[in-house]
């Protein structure tokens, strides 16, 4: 979610909004890190609840938020989360395929958007849990992705505010600038350099991975912005003070964690994706 509320260079953001953003981050970030460290069913529970929230917000944004559709999606995502948390990945995938078809049928006129939203939430669920389930490098891989996304967000926000300049894609996200995009990209490389300096992975591969994840994160942010603009929505919800909704806060992470899992899966397989991401 890089440069989400960036103002033109020389202007000042609303102090109350910036304070709310900082306070919310100070509460939510340590909680996310603690549950990520705990792993197991605690992390799976958090991810499942968040994925349900993502699906519900998506339905609201696209104007398909009926009780039947939201309820069906909630049940299916909860079953998927429970299955994969306790090692039944195939069951989770089967439940997701059958449940996704049911959700699509319930949606009727909005079936394409409902199916897309379900796939979005389900992908976030599976990738987030599977990356962490790597017993050797799961936590370090998850923290790497989180920190790259956060650094991209923060670097983009402050670079966009202080430098301003040409807009990145004004039709989709009028406030984002090329300076913000490059600032976020540079900040993500600093995360990779920090991991390498700490002996967690090799410098060149981590720099390349962080570069990919930063770009993907920003594309995920633009994708969410495009969906909201398509339906004339500013924020996906007002759940998180100063940040909007879960989609607003996690758009970049969803894209990045999916890309991270794909990289890890291709290199080391389904159950060692964390090692595949971090060990080169």
Span 138-182, pLDDT tens digits: 999 999 999 999 999 999 999 998 998 899 988 888 888 999 999
- The reported pLDDT for the residue numbered 17 is 66
13 assigned to some structural domain: no
14 assigned to some structural domain: no
Nearest partner of 133 among 195, 89, 93, 92, judged by Cα: 89
Looking at the fold, whether 115 and 180 belong to one and the same domain comes out as no
- The reported pLDDT for the residue numbered 112 is 94
In this structure, are residues 251 and 244 in contact, taking their beta carbons and an 8 Å threshold? Answer: no
Q: Is the pLDDT of residue 280 over 60?
A: yes
Looking at the fold, whether 123 and 147 belong to one and the same domain comes out as no
Among 133, 166, 184, which residue terminates a domain? 133
- The reported pLDDT for the residue numbered 175 is 84
91 assigned to some structural domain: yes
| Per-residue CA distances from 38 to 45, 46, 63, 196 (Å) | 11, 11, 37, 24
7 assigned to some structural domain: no
Show Cβ contacts of residue 268 under 8 Å, excluding neighbours closer than 6 positions.
Answer: 275, 276, 279
Q: State the Cα torsion 135-139-142-143 to the nearest 10°.
A: -160
Looking at the fold, whether 143 and 122 belong to one and the same domain comes out as no
CA distance 218 to 1: 7
10 assigned to some structural domain: no
Among 78, 109, 133, which residue terminates a domain? 133
Looking at the fold, whether 97 and 162 belong to one and the same domain comes out as no
230 assigned to some structural domain: yes
265 assigned to some structural domain: yes
pLDDT digits (tens, 9 = 90+) for 219-260: 999 999 999 999 999 888 888 776 688 999 999 999 999 999
Looking at the fold, whether 107 and 152 belong to one and the same domain comes out as no
Between 23 and 206, the higher pLDDT residue = 206
159 assigned to some structural domain: yes
Looking at the fold, whether 66 and 169 belong to one and the same domain comes out as no
Q: Is the pLDDT of residue 203 over 80?
A: yes
Looking at the fold, whether 121 and 256 belong to one and the same domain comes out as no
Q: Is 72 exposed, middle or buried (0-12, 13-18, 19+ CB in 10 A)?
A: buried
In this structure, are residues 60 and 237 in contact, taking their beta carbons and an 8 Å threshold? Answer: yes
* CA dihedral over 59, 65, 69, 73, signed as positive or negative: positive
- The reported pLDDT for the residue numbered 24 is 78
Angle formed by the axes of helices 40-61 and 203-230, to 10°? 30
Q: How confident is the model at residue 65 (pLDDT cuts 50, 70, 90)?
A: confident
Q: The tokens of 179 are what?
A: 């300076």
Q: How confident is the model at residue 8 (pLDDT cuts 50, 70, 90)?
A: very low
Looking at the fold, whether 81 and 176 belong to one and the same domain comes out as no
Among 106, 133, 160, which residue terminates a domain? 133
Looking at the fold, whether 89 and 65 belong to one and the same domain comes out as yes
Looking at the fold, whether 72 and 203 belong to one and the same domain comes out as no
| Per-residue CA distances from 173 to 148, 162, 167 (Å) | 21, 18, 9
Query: Contacts by 55-59 with C-beta closer than 8 Å and gap 24+?
Result: 55/117, 55/118, 55/120, 55/121, 57/236, 57/237, 57/239, 57/245, 57/246, 57/247, 58/113, 58/116, 58/117, 58/120, 58/121, 58/227, 58/236, 58/247, 59/114, 59/117
Mean pLDDT (the chain, rounded): 91
CA distance 264 to 279: 9
Looking at the fold, whether 123 and 155 belong to one and the same domain comes out as no
Task: Look up the domain containing 103 and give its range.
Answer: 38-133
Looking at the fold, whether 76 and 148 belong to one and the same domain comes out as no
**Angle 236-22-207 from CA coordinates, rounded to 5°:** 85
For the chain, how many structural domains are there in total? 2
């Amino acid at each position: 979610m890089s440069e989400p509320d960036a103002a033109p260079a020389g202007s000042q953001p609303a102090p109350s909004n910036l304070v709310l953003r900082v306070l919310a981050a100070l509460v939510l970030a340590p909680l996310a890190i603690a549950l990520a460290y705990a792993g197991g069913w605690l992390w799976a529970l958090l991810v499942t609840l968040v994925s349900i929230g993502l699906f519900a917000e998506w339905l609201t944004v696209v104007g398909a938020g009926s009780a039947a559709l939201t309820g069906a999606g909630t049940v299916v995502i909860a079953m998927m989360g429970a299955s994969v948390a306790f090692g039944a990945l195939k069951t989770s995938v089967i439940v997701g395929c059958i449940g996704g078809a049911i959700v699509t049928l319930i949606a009727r006129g909005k079936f394409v958007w409902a199916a897309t939203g379900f796939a979005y939430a389900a992908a976030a669920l599976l990738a987030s849990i599977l990356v962490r389930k790597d017993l050797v490098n799961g936590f370090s891989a998850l923290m790497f992705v989180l920190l790259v996304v956060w650094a991209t967000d923060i670097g983009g926000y402050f670079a966009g505010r202080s430098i301003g300049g040409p807009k990145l894609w004004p039709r989709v996200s009028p406030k984002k600038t090329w300076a913000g995009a490059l600032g976020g990209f540079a900040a993500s490389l600093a995360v990779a350099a920090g991991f390498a300096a700490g002996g967690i992975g090799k410098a060149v591969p981590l720099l390349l991975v962080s570069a990919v994840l930063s770009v993907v994160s920003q594309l995920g942010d633009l994708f969410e912005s495009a969906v909201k603009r398509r339906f004339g929505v500013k924020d996906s919800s007002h759940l998180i003070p100063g940040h909007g909704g879960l989609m607003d806060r996690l758009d970049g992470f969803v894209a990045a964690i999916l890309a991270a899992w794909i990289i890890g899966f291709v290199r080391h397989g389904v159950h060692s994706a964390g090692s595949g991401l971090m060990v080169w």
